[in-house]
Structure 1
Amino acid sequence: MGAREVDLPDVVPGSGLPERVTIWEVGARDGLQNESAVVPVGVKLEFLDRMADAGSTVLEATSFVHPKWVPQLADAEELLAGLEKRPGVTYPVLVPNERGLDRALAAGVREIAIFASATETFANRNLNRTLDEQFAMFDPVVARARAEGLAVRGYVSMCFGDPWEGPVAREQVVVVGERLLDMGCSQLSLGDTIGVATPGQVKALLAAFDSVEPLAVHFHDTYGQALANTYAALECGVTTVDASAGGLGGCPYAESATGNLATEDLVWMLDGLGIAHGVDLDKLADTSKWMAGVLGRPSPSNVVRALRG
């Protein structure tokens, strides 16, 4: 069955929802970092270019983590050197430490993200630090980045459940998040790294923060709850949602973490709610279908499968 024109959902606006949502596209970084085989840099560049052409305004491009730990992103410098940046599009990168920041600054990066943990066990497994020690590692990174005029996002992983520790106390997540904000992060992305959250849990965590203004959400779809959880976050006033084209992704340090919320599935829901976002679903679905072909497996996105077979 060949490609067909995109169907459009009937638009019925929801009550009390944002008028516009920023989609923080993580496919090129969080999506491809979990591939068993290294994706050629030329494919990554085409992916980013196609996503920009589809209307994405935030494209998290890569990570400056040590190549030993994530060899799939060892080409970060080469990728950024070959990237044809589009006006109005930002290309943040993940940096784990000061060495990563040095590399990012040398590459001309203007927006970075750091990746913290809400739990002791994952901080140790992912960062080789205790929960408290991670802040000592991040503090000089954030201070130097802000002094250089860079925007800094703080990811907080394992916000809803941890495969080693179980359910995570909301108060613990808030403490970690507030410390990152006090450090100088301008935005927090609250991650359901293993996809166990439910909408009530999402609302309770967001309510535990003093304000939702600096908060974004990052859901994985392990139990099929990513869209429901996103809707719950929108009801709470969140206006930035992380998503990955075609539902790519996972986490190399948490085996139970499956793919991210698919950008197409998010766009379909936002379109049906009349919420502006700027992404062309037709071009987006074409891009994810193409990438699925490159990777040699079907896209897990329901919308991609419905529209592109």
Structure 2
Amino acid sequence: MTQPLNQTLGIAGIVSELREVRLTSLEHRHRRNNPPKLPSRKSLQSIVDGLSAALFPNRLGMPDLQEDGIDYFVGHTLDTALRDLYVQVQLELRYASDTEHSKAPSNTTALDKVRTFSQQLPHIRTVLDTDLNAAFEGDPAARSLDEVLVCYPGIAAIIHYRLAHELHKLGLPLIARIISEVAHSATGIDIHPGATIGNGFFIDHGTGVVIGETAIIGRHVRLYQAVTLGAKRFPTNAQGHLIKGDARHPIVEDDVVIYAGATILGRITIGAHSVIGGNVWLTKSVPPNSNITQAQTQDVANATPQPSNAT
């Protein structure tokens, strides 16, 4: 009689070796006893889906929702999503307390953060309306705001970002990052929740867009696919470790258009009403009303300002 497959493959031995590797790793991080649980990516995706449905019940809520039932649906959906978020916030706070060897957080701390976040939801919806309008007005292929909301990957990524950014500001960077990475996986658009982005933001097509943690983007900015707002270099401290949190990403002022494939690196400023052409590599600031093409990037410091309607 042949051996069972698990014996043939030696699964018991592999399990034992994996346990030893895992315990060694936990010991190295001083976490062998009762390592803290992390917030759940699956739960956070469900929470974002619920929050999105509450923000846009007619389009992202239940398909048979009637007008007289909208408020009930929004209330019930918010109650479920915020209760679940409260659990995830508790997990992050406990995880942070363990890793930083600080005092264990109280349940009141988690509740205060969820309450503060929930009070920002009307503001988030108002800002998202400006993003939807920017997409509709900026894309001649868009036939309605509804189409933009349910079809455009850039809008999906921005919804995730707007929610994640508020959580990031509340001192919940892990939950915020997980939410952003859910959108990144689904859309190919990578927006760090620490970035600051003004109203009326539009990402057309979107795949391959990267926006770094300390980027600052003004109002009515439009990006196309494969645009990178990244860091030019990564300074280290005396011990050779990367310095965290330094401002290292671009500042993009109001009413700027950045075309496909442009790479903008470092803490430089793109002046208001500028147009950055496709595939431009830019590491120096440009003044307002500039029109930068590939041919100009060798001397962008002396770029001549162009009229604000330059294309």
Structure having the higher helix fraction is 2
Category of TM-score, reference length = shorter chain? under 0.3
Larger RCO, structure (CA 8 Å, separation 6 or more): 1
Structure having the higher strand fraction is 1
What is the TM-score with the length of structure 2 in the denominator? 0.24
What is the TM-score with the length of structure 1 in the denominator? 0.25
